Amino acid sequence: MKEIKIGQKAEVFTKVTSDKLAVAVGSGSLKVFATPSMCALMEEAACAAIAPFLDPGETTVGTALSIEHTSPSPQGVTITAEAEITESNGREILLHVMAFDTVGEIGHGTHRRYIVDAEKFQTKANLKK
């Protein structure tokens, strides 16, 4: 693990397609960008912000996500998620996350991730079978 740089940012994008709608993912009955889809995009941005600091064989796992989904977005628009590293305590990393559509902000919050050894973590998970 390399030294984590506070302030490191990343952006990722997605188009709101039918499989990302609340009605499709089971989080509601409307044809709007689903909260779980927004959360997944925020996590993707967080992973991208941390990636430059990982050594070979390391990855991150999310352990907490506290967000507000503040505005709906219809099918067809592009969503941008941003993540910025705000704190680092050893392997624990805290990020500020935000999401925007073509009109403005649609959500924001915080996300915590931990750096782990990918193989060891997967082995531990597989023992639950």
Instruction: Please give the full DSSP string across the chain, using - where no structure is assigned.
Output: -PPP-TT-EEEEEEE--GGGBHHHHTS-SSSBB-HHHHHHHHHHHHHHHHGGGPPTTEEEEEEEEEEEE-S--BTT-EEEEEEEEEEEETTEEEEEEEEE-SSSEEEEEEEEEEEEEHHHHHHHHHTT-
Catalytic residues: 35, 43, 69
